[in-house]
Structure 1
Amino acid sequence: MELFSRNVAGLWIILLECLFKTLAEEEVLMNTKAETSDLKWTTYSRSRSEWEEISGLDEENNSVRTYQICQADGSSSHWLRSKLIERRGASQVYVELRFTMIECSSRNTHHRSCKETFNLYYYQSDTDDATATYPAWMENPYVKVDTVAADFLLRKGGEKKLNVKTLRLGPLTERGFYLAFQAQGACMALLSVRVFFKKCPALTRSLSVFPETLPRSLVQEAAGQCVANAAQPGTNPRPPKMFCGEDGQWVDQPTTTCTCLPGYEASIGDLECRACPAGHFKMGSGADPCSACPDSSHTGETGSASCVCRPGYHRAPTDSPDTPCTRPPSSPRSLVPQVNDTSVTLEWSEPLESGGRSDLAYSVECLMCPTPGSPCTPCRDGVTYRPSQSGILTRRVSIWGLRPHTSYSFKVMALNGVSTLSAMEAEGETINITTSPNVPVVVAGLRKSTATESSLTLYWATPTQSHYSIQQYQLRYCEKERGSEENSCHYMESDSNQVVLSNLRRATQYEVQVRARTFAGYGSFGQAVVFRTLPDEDASSSPLLVTGVLIAMGMFLLILVIGVAIYCIRKQNHSKDPELSDKNGQYLMGQGVKVYIDPFTYEDPNEAVREFAKEIDVSFVKIEEVIGAGEFGEVCRGRLRVPGKKENYVAIKTLKGGYTDKQRRDFLSEASIMGQFQHPNIIHLEGIITASCPVMILTEFMENGALDSFLRLNDGQFTPIQLVGMLRGIASGMKYLSEMSYVHRDLAARNILVNSNLVCKVSDFGLSRFLQENSSDPTYTSSLGGKIPIRWTAPEAIAFRKFTSASDVWSYGIVMWEVMSFGERPYWDMSNQDVINAIEQDYRLPPPPDCPTYLHQLMLDCWQKERTARPRFANIVSALDKLIRNPASLKITAQEGAGPSHPLLDQRSPLTPSSCGTVGDWLRAVKMERYEESFLQAGYTSMQLLAHITTEDLLRLGVTLAGHQKKILSSIEALGIQNKTPGNVLY
């Protein structure tokens, strides 16, 4: 019933709010229907006809003052102007006109001069200074609002209907304004004029109150405030906001974060915050409703943020105010002692009542009663408790160090988180015991037999005077540096008078005590003796250490002798073999110790895979996206997370379904090859997955992808020294491969991968093959007649299929040219046959633009026709290191305009405006076609418009790369279009 009453009250409030909103939408500035006396508006006319003020009746037969006019001649204007109307802060107002108009066909006048419309104007002013002649009766200074046409016209015998028109005028900025009506040939009566403006009424919504707001623009922002008992969170909250539309209606929902305060909840459709009723609470601010008090708590007043505990119940300091109140537990039950001479073990059962809590623990109180009848005193400090005296989580405790033949009283108490808050003493179970009167004698004479780094062998004398036979010994040993900490002490039992203490810390002192046990229990521990594990002060004289040093020195001398012998043998062989002499100058690889093993030499190729590639569990790999396609399947990017290691990105090559055994063997052979290489400039193999489908090869992930596309994407963005650094990395990787008697056969920029640190690594070992060791001319002759990358391949490899490390050097020279030209295609658009013919005629690629002369000379060395005349990769690495150490040599470049030495290679023929018919043709000729759309959209539709283009213009066109800017501006100069504009300077 109470809920129903609240809902009914809420509905009434909402209805009243809506009613108030309807009544308060408009504020009238002028209404002629409410005038009872003459209006006395100003009229103006150049002819006899003019506006006439008369009394009439409106549609409800009420007396009103009206103006009417009926012109016979439409060539002259007849004006009617109101008095000054105060705008009262409104920036725009509405004018409601009620009028009647006679149809022209019903009048005895010329149809051309008859009008069925009139004009409405207004004039703003800060003072009421209008006169019969001021302002001038014309459209300027008046502002025209609209030409008003009648919807209903009066005719003879027809129905009499009036017209109602509402017009908006503004913006208004002065104190007030005049309305002016202009008739030119109309016969009409102006029955009433109502001027008003609209405003948004006061509103309460979403726990926020917004005041009455006058719209001063299309949408007016209004600031509100939270309702009573509500607030916004934070130290500097922004006030609630809502927008008032120009039509006087509130727009959309308010922007507010008002929430009810603690102890209050939202009610009546979020219009107010109501106090929580008695027996209910609300902890914090927010939209949550009030909740009933938790168990064993109450509140006797409304608007409570928390409930207080009933007598005898409490909340711990760590308990939340919305948790039930609890009380201390009852005492433990069934306390049972086990006396062992001067020690006792107590066990008990849990209490019947836990107090409603789960943080139950126990504590022990010990009292010593020396003689019957004497007062009991707390036990001395020498008494120890295991596991502890308080905060015991189990129902068992052992007490050591009691006096013999002494009475003790033990009290075990159960405690929880609110026990300290209770005024009553904690309940407990009490029991009295008496220790044994006979105690075995103390054991003495503890000695050390031997010591190592982790053990001590100890012995002691057997007591001779004992009332009982000794059943067992117990040792307590503690680390001396850690004092008497309980967790630094350990105990060990022994049936004899000798024991070995193991698992000790190296070079650490231990305090050791021993005591004996008879059937009457354990006696007291003897005097503590300190022992130390090795090494100690005299460890340097240990025979084992001396022996170890002698063995190490002997091994070192043996290794030294073997090394000298190997060096002498190699030097002697080198001097005897002229083919290996540097003076001979021949290029022969693979004559040293062979490291690389061809997986195709294995009878079972799967054995090579198992030997050189690590199998990875497929559950460790997560594929994220496909980044390309290979010969055998897709190439993906993924994550590899091996337990115990850091997660890292990997590239994943997959073998597509439906493969044959040969395809699987060829696919995994690349992993067998990569698995044998460990070099910072060779792509690293992470492992393979063959136990599930699809079969995968996992390598390290190179963020920047292939070198050729990376350079084209960053054309002109790297300095020569950075490019030389990339070339040095590639050469270092190839030097490593050549020293392993390994020929790549497909060395090209597309097969070089680049990581995020610009480190270049050799990859793609699909065409690589092993150099035969037993040949004086190590080559590989293909019997398959497969495709050969002509533009990157040495002449002897093209003609005779003879691949050596020297042919890899030729390919490396092409890679150098690709790098220095930022990914340009070698030999441009020439056919493969044209390339072969040109090379046979001893013509070579020209230096790329701005290429250092030293680097182009190194390219030409790599392109020597005689393979034995080409440098080795070790020589190339050394030459590039010298360039890096002397960067000034990189500033020497080829002569400007120097071209290739053969017409077939001359891809830089002079450009002329006639040779480039359009801007698109020119951009494609300089390989900048990506910017064609930007040039055309910017208005560069003809070659002549390029004459004054500047670097700033190129930036606006989206040409942000400095290399591309330089290429475009250089091409414009080559066209013969001179740019005279200052500021056409490249950075």
Structure 2
Amino acid sequence: MALQRVLLLLRLLLCCYGDEEVLLNTKLVTSDLQWSVYPGSDPQWDEVSVLDDEHNTVRTFEICTPNSATYHWLRTNWVPRKTGTTLYVEIRFTMMECSSLNQRQCKETFTVFSYESDLATPSRGPLGPSPPESFQKVATVAADFLLRRGGDGARRSNTRLLRLDGVKKAGLYLAIQSQGTCMALLSLKVFYRKCPPLTVAFATFPETVPHSLVQQAVGVCVENAVTPPGEHTTLPSMLCGEDGQWAGLPSSSCSCRPGYEADGDARCRACPAGHFKPSSGLGTCTSCPDFSGTQVPGSAYCLCRHGYLRADSDSPSAACSKPPSAPRSPVAQLNSSLSLSLEWGPPLDFGGRSDVWYRVLCERCHDDVCSPCEGSVLIGPSTTVTQTRVMVMGLRPRALYVFTVQSLNGVSALSQSQPSAVRVNVTTNTNVPGLVSGLRRTSASETSLTLEWAPPSLIQNPDQTKTASRVLDYQLRYCPKQGEGSMQWQYVSSRGHSVVLLGLRRSTQYLVQVRARAVTGFGPFCAETSVSTLPEGQSHLVLIAVLVTMAILLLVGGAMVAALCYRRRTQRRPTRDKSSFQMNQNMTLYIDPFTYEDPELAVRQFTREIDASCVKIEEVIGAGEFGEVCRGRLHVPGRPQNYVAIKTLKGGYTDKQRRDFLSEASIMGQFQHPNIIHLEGVITSSCPAMILTEYMENGALDSFLRVNDGQFTGIQLVGMLRGIAAGMKYLSDMSYVHRDLAARNILVNANLVCKVSDFGLSRFLTENSSDPTYTSSLGGKIPIRWTAPEAIAYRKFTSASDAWSYGIVMWEVMSYGERPYWDMSNQDVINAIEQDYRLPPPTDCPAALHWLMLDCWQKERANRPRFCDVVSGLDRLIRNPASLKNTDSAHSSQPLLDQRPIARLSSCSSVSDWLRAIKMERYEQSFFQNGLCTLEEVSVLTTEDLLRAGVTLAGHQKKILSSIQTLRSSDQSHAPTLLY
């Protein structure tokens, strides 16, 4: 596109010179001009014929009155202006030098006048020695080259170009006034300029006369050309300059419509048969893609041949394709726990497409009658897959199953024929427990259920021992009874025939199923049973009364003991300082200034008013939400002078803006901590209102890190993180939730001390702000890249959501201010987090720190660390700086938050026991669906296997692999430790 515009501009410069419309040119007249002269009684202007430089006969006027002071006039005939409003007068003349004539009245200038008239005969003419009022002076003309009497030099003529603006009447007269001159009028030319007709960029523009500095001309697209999409109502236009030349390039230029290509830049020609062009623009016609064609010239698309199709998502330039052939060589391998792995080979013919996937259908047959499999049969990871392998669970023993594998691609849904498929028959006959029977509720409360069931019948082959058939334990799953397809099962295990479910919702129906497990594997789940918890108020009242009574007695006893202890302490030691006691009380209580009926009261209570004369603003250092941010000096009498940062409230504010502006000061005034920005005071009694805080020399942390990329040691970076965590611990202890913790809101002073800032509760962020935001369903703007999932979805802001944001800040610090999630869009970030994606460790990031980041990014907010734990963990890291050199997360041995050893595979009796021991029981179902049913299979797992099993969270992968590593490690005395 840029090259095309350059070529068009060159064409305009080389080809499109301005045209002239000549109204009068005496050089072309050979007969008498018959112009008027004055005074008529003594005419001095003589009309004569002479030869010009090209030996052509031309009419000229001559006058020579160097010894006369009388005005002598020469007036042209009426000159029509036609369509011009800016006229040009070109005068060519010669003039004698007065010094050679030696006459006192001699002059070397003459004057040009004009008179506009709609009639060919003017109402007034030059009748006196001075010009009438109707004549307007145009210019006084002087000669550049003068002739000397008796001189032998070449006769050089003079040329002057005069401009007449704003001519409105139908025509005009020109008059030349001579007084004492000796001159010859060689030629007089009157014309106006115009831009010639032009065809450029597939648009045609008419001849245009400029009536001002520039004149806009509207054109039309040439045949088979259109304006670009989105500009169909805008006609192309160009600017005609006053010099009669086209300026610039056309706006809203035209282009050849679909099915036509450019032939130069002024014509569009149709694509020949067998070729197409799908869109308007500069593209050229191309041959039809495979298995398609067209017989009509000027086609925008090519039709698929018989038997071939094109999906709706395919581009017009994509080749036509057809459904794939059937999958090949299906193999079903039955496991010992009524599950099987079903594999097949890809089809021989993909149909010319790469988007091939497979659908697996299951039928259970009995007495030659087949019906779809019941809901207890699970096909994983889904019935529709792109890989050539699935796991099937929940099969019944001694049953015949028929599995159909269909191959499909993007055009299968458009085809009239059934998808190509292959079938495989499987008969189950394994020694596993049968169905559990008699599942029932024995007792219930508002939040709990007690369930019992009868042991199953065991299916035993003659060659199996009784021990192989013994039930080891039972697995029960339950979920609230909801709409179809929305079940989220939760699993519990029991070694007996009963289980108690706790933490349930009151007055809610639950669906429950149970199955038995033997050494050979799990049996099938029993049919779903519906049970419900009790509604509020219908629990055992006696038990509640007893519990309440015991609680009251404990409270009374505790109060008495506390009173006695307090009396003894007051008798033994002096009373505490009252101000110290109040300060300790305030440390645990944050008061929201918006709870005040009059917000000014909160400002007066928590801030200090400073006289405006004590503040001197030196320079503007940035722009804040409500106005400018400045650097200045604060000099309060009796205190040393110091630098401060000053936030100002811009003029024209509303009452709400002033209240929101001062609320930040009311919040900061309640905090006193070395890692929280310190409030010096406010100015509210004069305009503009100001908030004064301590001045942080190095500014915002993110930009400071980017400027000093790679300049700090690991201990220095950890020290910065420790300071931020200490400030957030202080805020958390005061029950304050920051909501917008990010490196941009951390300020750094000259000593590299980091302090938390930006406590405004009302933030008016926009979409083109530097902080990307997302509008939640409940309203308000949220900085997506730093915000916890529950805060994005439900606006649940807590200290746990601040802990998530702190993990992002850690990543920013260790990457020296890199943008979290790079160039991903807000929606991509949300989707990635929901799919358990977490940021990888920055370059050279210590493994222990990345473990801590993963802790902060736990999906369950209750599992995230508290800020007091973060501070303690970072302190341990600072005391052991050698651990910062370990950047291998898989072999990290420095725990920060937990000292519990990871469970070894050798100490567990089953995969379920092992997953529960390492707190990873959430993946139990996924492991079984992928055939990971024995400890031997688990012991050889790799990262790729975990991904296929649905373990996508990096921290969980490391935790599982670390546990497996202990089984293969020869040194059992250095077992890895948990970081969760």
The TM-score normalised by the length of structure 2 is 0.51
- Partner of 1:249 in structure 2? 245
Q: Which residue does the alignment assign to 2:607?
A: none
Q: How does 1:933-952 map to 2 (within 5 A)?
A: none
Deviations 1:346-405 (A, max 9, x none): 612241455565644322345677667xxx665477784534884245522537677967
- The Cα shift of 1:168 comes to 1.7
Q: Deviations over 1:287-342 (max 9, x none)?
A: 66777766766666665545555655544333444555554333223312356999
2:160 is matched with which residue: 150, 155, 166? 166
2:111 and 2:139 in contact (8 A); partners too: yes
SS at 1:64's partner residue? strand
Give the corresponding residue for 1:421. 414
Alignment-mate amino acid for residue 139 of structure 1:
P
| Identity rate, percent | 35
Q: Is the 8 A contact 2:288 2:294 kept in 1?
A: yes
Check the 8 A contact 1:100/1:154 in 2, yes or no: no
Matched, 1:318 2:310: no
| Structure number with larger C-alpha Rg | 1
How big is the shift at 1:126?
0.8
Does 1:331 find its partner at 2:326?
yes
How far does residue 636 in structure 1 lie from its aligned partner after superposition? 6.6
**C-alpha distance in structure 2 between counterparts of 1:224 and 1:341, whole Å:** 81
- What is the aligned partner in structure 2 of residue 539 from structure 1? 539
Q: Specify every segment of 5 or more residues in structure 2 that has no aligned partner in the other structure, as ranges.
A: 585-621, 635-639, 648-663, 668-674, 679-692, 699-718, 761-980
Residues 1:364 and 2:360 aligned together: yes
Provide the C-alpha distance between the structure 2 equivalents of 1:104 and 1:287, rounded to a whole number of angstroms: 67
Q: Secondary structure at the match of 2:159?
A: strand
Residue 143 in structure 1 maps to residue 136 in structure 2: yes
Aligned partners of 1:87 and 1:177 also within 8 Å: yes
The one of 454, 457, 477 aligned to 1:460: 454
- Looking at structure 1, the residues matched to 428 and 733 of structure 2 have their Cα atoms a distance apart, in angstroms, of 74
User: Which SS does the other structure have where 1:124 is aligned?
Assistant: strand
SS in structure 1 of the partner of residue 549 of structure 2: helix
Q: Deviations over 1:534-592 (max 9, x none)?
A: 7887522464x34421122224434666799999999999xxx9xx9xxxxxxxx9479
Q: CA deviation at 1:457?
A: 4.8
After TM superposition, list the pairs within 5 Å mapping 1:707-718 onto structure 2. Answer: none
Please name the residue that 2:82 is paired with. 88
Aligned to 1:351: 346
**Does residue 112 of structure 1 match 2:104?**
yes
The letter of the residue matching 2:419 is A
Whether contact under 8 Å (1:86, 1:177) holds in the other structure is: yes
Deviation at 1:524, TM superposition (A): 8.1
Equivalent position SS for 2:105? coil
What is the correspondence of 1:224-623 to structure 2 with a 5 Å cutoff? Answer: 224-228=219-223, 229-234=225-230, 237-256=233-252, 258=254, 260-263=256-259, 268=264, 283-285=278-280, 305-306=300-301, 308-309=303-304, 312-321=307-316, 325-338=320-333, 345=340, 347-352=342-347, 353-355=349-351, 359-365=355-361, 379=372, 384-387=377-380, 390-393=383-386, 395-398=389-392, 409-433=402-426, 444-446=437-439, 453-454=447-448, 456-460=450-454, 471-472=470-471, 477-479=477-479, 481-482=481-482, 487-488=487-488, 498-500=497-499, 502=501, 505-507=504-506, 508-512=508-512, 530-532=530-532, 539-541=539-541, 543=543, 545-558=544-557, 590=577
Q: Does 1:698 align with 2:755?
A: yes
Equivalent pair of 1:340/1:520 in contact (CA under 8 Å): no
Change (3 A) 1:317 1:699: closer
User: What residue in structure 1 maps to residue 910 of structure 2?
Assistant: none
Segment drifting more, 391-400 vs 59-68? 391-400
Distance of aligned partners of 1:234 and 1:449 in 2 relative to their CA distance in 1, 3 Å threshold: closer
Counterparts of 1:417 and 1:498 in 2: how far apart (Å)? 50
Q: Please provide the CA RMSD for this pair.
A: 5.9
* In 2: Cα distance, 1:250 partner to 1:36 partner: 35
Q: Which residue of 2 aligns with 1:180?
A: 175
Determine whether 1:30 maps to 2:24.
Answer: yes
8 A contact 1:263–1:305 mirrored in 2: yes
Contact 1:32 1:194 in 2 (8 A): yes
Quick one: structure 1 residues 475 and 560, their matched pair in 2 at CA, closer, same or farther if it must change by over 3 Å?
closer
Alignment partners' CA distance in 1, 2:182 and 2:114: 22
State the alpha-carbon separation in 1 of the partners of residues 525 and 413 from structure 2: 38
Task: Indicate conservation of the 8 Å contact 1:283/1:321, yes or no.
Answer: yes
Give distance in 2, aligned partners of 1:90 and 1:483: 80
Contact residue 474 and residue 491 of structure 1 kept, 8 A: no
- Cα distance between partner residues in 2 of 1:690 and 1:18: 56
Kept after mapping to 2: 8 A contact 1:478/1:484: no
Are the aligned partners of 2:91 and 2:185 in contact in 1 as well (CA < 8 Å)? yes
| 3-state SS of paired residue (2:540) | helix
- CA shift at 1:412, angstroms? 1.2
Give 2:211's aligned residue. Answer: 216
Q: Write the distance in 1 (CA, Å) between the matches of 2:239 and 2:526.
A: 90
Give per-residue Cα distances to partners, 1:461-512, cap 9 Å, x unaligned: 6659999876548766554733775835577887x77243656734454455
Q: CA deviation at 1:456?
A: 3.4
Aligned counterparts of 1:149 and 1:435: Cα–Cα separation in 2: 118
SS at match of 1:173: coil
Alpha carbons of structure 1 residues 238 and 422: separation in structure 2 relative to 1, 3 Å: closer
Q: 1:272 Cα deviation (Å)?
A: 5.5
User: Contact 1:120 / 1:146 at 8 angstroms: preserved in 2?
Assistant: yes
The aligned amino acid for 1:189 is A
Going from structure 1 to structure 2, the CA distance change for 1:137 and 1:127 (only over 3 Å counts) comes to farther
The CA distance in 2 between the partners of 1:426 and 1:463, in whole Å, is: 42
For structure 1, which runs of at least 5 residues remain unmatched after alignment? 1-5, 581-588, 598-621, 641-646, 657-663, 704-987
1:27 deviates by: 1.1
2 CA distance for matches of 1:680 and 1:451?
37
1:432 Cα deviation (Å)?
A: 3.6
| Structure 2 residue aligned with 1:62 | 56
Q: Which residue of 2 aligns with 1:43?
A: 37
Range moving further from structure 2, 152-161 or 533-542: 533-542
Does the aligned pair in 1 maintain the 2:404–2:421 contact within 8 Å? yes
How much has 1:248 moved relative to structure 2? Answer: 1.9
CA distance in 2 between partners of 1:264 and 1:81 (Å): 60
- Superposed CA offset, 1:870-908 (max 9, x none): xxxxxxxxxxxxxxxxxxxxxxxxxxxxxxxxxxxxxxx
SS in 2 for 1:83: coil
Q: Which residue of 2 is the match for residue 75 of structure 1?
A: 69
Aligned length: 624
Partner residue, 1:126: 118
Say whether the 8 Å CA contact 1:200–1:250 is kept in structure 2. yes
- What SS does structure 2 have at the residue aligned with 1:417? coil
Distance 1:499 1:296, change over 3 A: farther
Structure 2 match to 1:951: none
Within 5 Å, give how 1:862-901 maps onto structure 2. Answer: none
Deviation at 1:458, TM superposition (A): 1.9
TM-score (norm 1): 0.51
User: What do the CA deviations read for 1:774-793 (whole angstroms, capped 9, x no partner)?
Assistant: xxxxxxxxxxxxxxxxxxxx
Deviation at 1:125, TM superposition (A): 0.8
- Contact in 1 for aligned 2:333/2:340 (Cα 8 Å): yes
Corresponding residue SS for 1:482: coil
SS in 2 for 1:548: helix
Which residue identity does 1:427 align to in structure 2? S
Contact 1:90 1:214 in 2 (8 A): yes
Distance in 2 (CA, whole Å) between partners of 1:437 and 1:90 is 104
Q: Whole-Å Cα distance in 2 between the matches of residues 34 and 343 of structure 1?
A: 111
Query: 3-state DSSP class of the match of 2:481?
Result: helix
* Cα 1:628/1:520, change in 2 over 3 Å: closer
